[in-house]
């Protein structure tokens, strides 16, 4: 944005400067030429009265004197510079007088068509050719006809000083263009800097820093966006806090029925059955406690555990129910430790959710497999079964009466560890979790 504004201003100023400086340069050329022509005309006209009243002998010294006097264009107006060189080398405007009898006085030059035309018409003319301009002044009333006073302005005299003036104009244009781009860049910077700060605050919020706030600055529109972003961040923080409190409150409410369930299990007459039900109740209570801790945790570092230990424990837990339903179970675990960036409760809840889906949505007797392999970035957990599979994995659209929460838990667990989540659809189901390696662990 900053570069685009600078380029836009540079382009607009270039057009304005061209529209202004080009006509000014043309005007300067015209003024320079007119100045030289005016000086030559005045020089020629200064001889008209003398030509009309004097003879050739009296006129010659005056013409020669005029040709040896050159106006110094760089001096103060009114001052003259004397040159000892012949008239043809004079830096002024050489003057030649063509008398009616054919006598030529002053700077030697052939009789040009313009001189002939001026003498024939008896009128003053200005004739331009490749070498310069002829200023022709006709003097009438002589006994033998019309005399012509010719002053010549060469091409160099017509453009004297024009190159320096054009350089000044070009320099002025460059300075104005640079100044405009500089001002545009400063203005763009005052706009872009607050926008970059807003982007940085947005990234911090996306990374979980809910205390990040934007400093209002820049134009009014940008300040409005900063204020709105701060309000949004505050609202998100309130919603997250309310959600955590709500989850923790629900979890606390579950403790009472869990306690009653455990007491009822302990009162069973069959010790083995009582121990089994009590174990299930204690496992559920541990999950509720972990849910409370997780809900109240804030800005805490991600947990870690040994995936081989957790997966092996949960696979053994579910294998008891698999035997009751005549399910063939394949468990393949690489030797540990396999440290992953997931807390033990989260990984256990993830595997329980996946295996719970197998038992809930496949017929009894359907085999399933659990594989845990080490990877350079952590570990890969695969849960597959030989059931009918599923078509959708979206929350609330898994089919077979499922809400899809099990798969969502697995997806969130994989992503929280810095890994990936994948599902293979079709005959049977295969769910793959790439779990990131825990930092600071071998």
Task: Give the pLDDT confidence of 241-271 residue by residue, as tens digits.
Answer: 777 777 666 766 776 677 777 777 777 777 7
Report pLDDT for 394. 39
Provide mean pLDDT across the span 4-14.
82
Average pLDDT of the residues in 366-379? 88
- List the domain range (segments joined by +) for residue 86: 46-160
* Residue 57: predicted pLDDT: 84
Looking at the structure, do residues 76 and 146 belong to the same domain, yes or no? yes
Given a contact cutoff of 8 angstroms between Cβ atoms, the answer to whether 221 and 194 are in contact is no
> What percent of the chain shows pLDDT beyond 70?
83
Domain CATH code at residue 114:
3.30.450
pLDDT at 66 over 70: yes
At 428, phi and psi to the nearest 5? Answer: 75, 175
Report the distance separating Cα 364 and Cα 396, nearest Å.
24
Q: What is the pTM of this model?
A: 0.44
Do 364 and 383 belong to one domain? yes
For the ranges 66-70, 311-315, 357-361, 395-399, the one whose mean pLDDT is highest: 311-315
| 99 against 396, higher pLDDT | 99
Q: Is residue 13 included in any domain, yes or no?
A: no
Separation of alpha carbons 385 and 369, rounded Å: 6
pLDDT one-digit tens code per residue, 272-309:
777 777 777 777 777 776 666 665 555 455 578 888 89
The domain that holds 395 is classified in CATH as 3.30.565.10
Q: Answer whether 101's CB lies under 8 Å from 144's CB.
A: yes
Q: Domain with 291 in it: what CATH number?
A: 1.10.287.130
Last residue of a domain, one of 299, 316, 343: 299
3-class secondary structure, 330 = strand
How crowded is the C-beta side of 313, counted as CA atoms within 13 Å?
13
The per-residue pLDDT for 49 is: 86
Q: Which of 251, 281, 299 is the last residue of a domain?
A: 299
**What pLDDT sits at residue 398?**
41
What tokens appear for 207 in the block?
A: 């990374």
Q: What is the reported pLDDT for 63?
A: 86
The verdict on 308 and 287 lying in the same domain is no
Above 60 in pLDDT, residue 73? no
Q: What is the 3-state secondary structure (H, E, C) of 96-112?
A: EEECCCCCEEECCCCCC
**232 domain residue, yes or no:** yes
Cα(289)–Cα(409) distance, integer angstroms: 17
> What average pLDDT does range 142-167 have in this prediction?
87
Instruction: Let me know the angle formed at the C-alpha of 135 by 134 and 141, rounded to the nearest 5 degrees.
Output: 130
Phi-psi region of 143 (alpha: psi -120 to 50; beta: other; left: phi over 0): alpha
> Regarding beta strands 80-82 and 69-71, do their DSSP bridges make them parallel or antiparallel, or are they unpaired?
antiparallel
Q: Which of 260-264, 314-318, 385-389, 393-397 holds the top average pLDDT?
A: 314-318
Least confident range from 133-147, 305-319, 425-439: namely: 425-439
- Final residue belonging to a domain, choices 125, 142, 160: 160
Distance CA 25, CA 433 (A): 75
Q: Give yes or no for residue 237 having a pLDDT over 70.
A: yes
Residue 308 and residue 412 in one domain = yes
pLDDT of residue 345: 79
Contacts of 429 (CB under 8 A, 6+ apart): 358, 384, 385, 387, 389, 390, 423
Answer whether 105's CB lies under 8 Å from 44's CB: no
Is pLDDT at 432 greater than 60 in this prediction? yes
Task: Give the relative orientation of helices 220-266 and 162-206 as an angle to the nearest 10 degrees.
Answer: 20
Give mean pLDDT, residues 410-426.
Answer: 78
Please state the domain count of the chain: 3
Pick 91 or 410 by higher pLDDT. 410
Closest CA to 297 of 255, 346, 348: 346
| 341 lies in the same domain as 268 | no
Q: Return the H-helix or E-strand segment holding 128.
A: strand 125-128
User: Residue 326: what pLDDT?
Assistant: 87
228 and 260 in a single domain? The answer is yes
Q: CA angle 23-24-28, nearest 5°? A: 115
Task: Examine residue 309 and state whether it is found in any structural domain, yes or no.
Answer: yes
Q: How far apart are CA 43 and CA 94, in angstroms?
A: 9
Give the side-chain half-sphere CA count within 13 A for 59. 22
Least confident of 124-128, 131-135, 200-204, 398-402: 398-402
| Lowest mean pLDDT segment, chosen from 84-93, 347-356, 393-402 | 393-402
- What is the pLDDT at residue 440? 57
Of 96 and 262, more confident: 96
């Amino acid at each position: 944005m900053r570069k685009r504004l600078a380029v836009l201003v540079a382009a607009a100023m270039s057009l304005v400067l061209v529209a202004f400086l080009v006509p000014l340069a043309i005007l300067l050329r015209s003024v320079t030429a007119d100045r030289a022509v005016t000086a030559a005309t005045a020089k020629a006209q200064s001889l008209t009265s003398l030509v009309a009243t004097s003879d050739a002998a009296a006129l010659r010294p005056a013409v020669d004197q005029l040709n040896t006097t050159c106006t110094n264009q760089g001096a103060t107006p009114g001052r003259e510079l004397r040159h000892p060189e012949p008239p043809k080398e004079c830096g002024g405007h050489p003057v030649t007088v063509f008398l009616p009898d054919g006598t030529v006085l002053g700077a030697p030059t052939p009789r040009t068509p313009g001189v002939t035309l001026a003498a024939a018409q008896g009128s003053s003319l200005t004739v331009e050719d490749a070498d310069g301009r002829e200023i022709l002044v006709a003097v009438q009333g002589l006994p033998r006809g019309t005399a012509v006073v010719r002053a010549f302005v060469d091409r160099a005299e017509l453009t004297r000083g024009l190159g320096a003036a054009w350089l000044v104009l070009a320099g002025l244009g460059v300075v104005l263009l640079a100044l405009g781009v500089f001002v545009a860049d400063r203005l763009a910077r005052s706009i872009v800097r607050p926008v970059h700060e807003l982007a940085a605050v947005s990234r911090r919020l996306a990374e979980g820093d809910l205390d990040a706030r934007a400093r209002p600055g820049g134009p009014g529109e940008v300040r409005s966006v900063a204020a709105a972003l701060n309000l949004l961040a505050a609202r998100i923080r309130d919603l997250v806090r309310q959600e955590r409190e709500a989850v923790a409150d629900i979890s606390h409410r579950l403790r009472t029925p869990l306690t009653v369930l455990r007491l009822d299990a302990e009162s069973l007459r069959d010790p083995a059955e009582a121990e089994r039900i009590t174990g299930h109740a204690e496992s559920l209570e541990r999950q509720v406690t972990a849910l409370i801790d997780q809900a109240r945790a804030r800005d805490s570092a991600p947990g870690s555990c040994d995936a081989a230990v957790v997966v092996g424990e949960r696979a053994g837990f579910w294998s008891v129910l698999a035997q009751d339903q005549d399910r063939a179970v394949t468990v393949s675990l690489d030797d540990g430790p396999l440290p992953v960036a997931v807390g033990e409760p989260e990984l256990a809840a993830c595997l329980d959710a996946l295996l719970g889906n197998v038992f809930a949505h496949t017929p009894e007797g359907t085999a399933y497999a659990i594989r845990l392999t080490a990877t350079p970035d952590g570990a890969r957990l695969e849960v597959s079964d030989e059931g009918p599979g599923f078509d959708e994995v979206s929350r609330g659209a898994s089919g077979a009466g499922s809400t899809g929460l099990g798969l969502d838990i697995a997806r969130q667990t994989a992503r929280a560890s810095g890994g990936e989540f994948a599902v293979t659809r079709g005959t049977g189901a295969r769910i793959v979790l790439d779990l990131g390696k825990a930092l600071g662990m071998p």
